[in-house]
Copies of this chain bind each other. A is one copy, B any other.
């Protein structure tokens, strides 16, 4: 038997305040199918994250980051984007890759860093790059991608393209150098870019109240002349609608928007983190009740679009898919040793080719199964 959200969170835990007020009328502008698809989008992410964590806990991948609790942000934004819009993510928006149709196996190849990984095993897990869906390669350095989004937006503007850039930053990341630089530039250039502050209340162990003394992070936008709002980041439709408005502004040449999504990091910061060191169970449990998935499922039910049987079937199927699809990445083998020297430059320069050739000529004879073992 399969449990939906083993160990981490129960997506059915729902804020009672919300369940008490069911709204039988469909929200305007959405078809029933659309609403169900949005829900499925969130479930897909949750299932992927759970699989990631299992792979990591069982030592099959080295590291992972999950986005549990932040699915509404990812699905709400992705659903509003056009194909030509680019995503400049942090490590916690990988769910948007799934929304844009990349296969779970392709993502798992990255997690395994295997020979089929688009990035040839060069980056740590969760540092994806998928050019065909305009999901831009990210570093681990907090904040640096924000000005890339602005630059790309200026480029689109310059070329007359109808593309908008969306980019994400955590509550912690709002303190980074590049947050300041990116918003400064975007404001002055009226660049077609939407900034999302994903306020999940923690930067690893550091609570947002000690990150910034402002009453609300979205107030930062004021200092750059950028229209800014704060929304409930666990409210899928609020995210979707705020995004649509911001995209419309951007496409109309009215410049950037800053959207703070208030949410909560239900899981650990990463597989290396132990949140019990710095936040208590009560706080976490309370937050879990606001889980965007449980909440939206209740709404779907209240609209008559969904029931418990469908839900069970969905999660069962998702879990199986995840197992099957990620397993395909497991025995692929590592990238070729030569590949280590590619892509530093467009062409391997002579001095680097020399390093490669010497290394390959001599040391490639010695297998290196485990680091630190002397193979001779």
Contacts and interface: CB of A to CB of B under 8 A. Distances in A.
Interface of A: 175, 177, 179-181, 184, 187-188, 190, 210-215, 217, 219-226, 255
Contact of A223 (B187, B210, B220): B220
In the complex this chain forms, how many copies of it are found?
Answer: 2
Given A177-B180, A181-B175, A210 B188 contact: yes
Given A215-B225, A223-B223, 16 more contacts: A175-B180, A175-B184, A177-B177, A177-B180, A184-B211, A187-B213, A188-B210, A188-B213, A190-B213, A212-B223, A212-B225, A213-B226, A214-B225, A219-B223, A220-B222, A222-B223
Given A179-B180, A180-B179, A184-B175, A214 B224 contact: yes
A187 B212 contact: yes
A187 B255 CA distance: 29
Contacts of A224: 212-214, 220
A346 to B, nearest CB: 31
Those 4 A-B pairs whose CB atoms lie nearest each other, nearest first: A213-B225, A187-B213, A220-B223, A180-B180
Contacts of A213: 187-188, 190, 224-226, 255
For A214, A217, A220, the residue with the greatest tally of chain B CB atoms inside 10 Å of its CB is A214
Contacts of A215: 225
Nearest to A190: B213
A182 to B, nearest CB: 11
A225 B213 CA distance: 5
26 contacts: A175-B181, A177-B177, A177-B180, A177-B181, A179-B180, A184-B211, A184-B212, A187-B213, A187-B214, A188-B211, A190-B213, A212-B223, A212-B225, A213-B225, A213-B226, A213-B255, A214-B222, A214-B223, A214-B224, A214-B225, A219-B222, A220-B223, A220-B224, A221-B223, A222-B222, A223-B223
Nearest to A226: B213
Contacts of A190: 213
A212 B224 CA distance: 6
Contacts of A175: 180-181, 184
For A175, A190, A213, the residue with the greatest tally of chain B CB atoms inside 10 Å of its CB is A213
A124 to B, nearest CB: 26
Nearest to A189: B213
A212 B214 CA distance: 20
Contacts of A226: 213
Nearest to A175: B184
Nearest to A211: B188
Nearest to A256: B213
Contacts of A210: 188
For A211, A219, A226, A255, the residue with the greatest tally of chain B CB atoms inside 10 Å of its CB is A219
Nearest to A217: B223
A318 B187 CA distance: 46
Nearest to A185: B175
For A190, A214, A223, A224, the residue with the greatest tally of chain B CB atoms inside 10 Å of its CB is A223
For A180, A225, A226, the residue with the greatest tally of chain B CB atoms inside 10 Å of its CB is A180
A184 B212 CA distance: 6
A250 to B, nearest CB: 15
Contacts of A187: 212-214
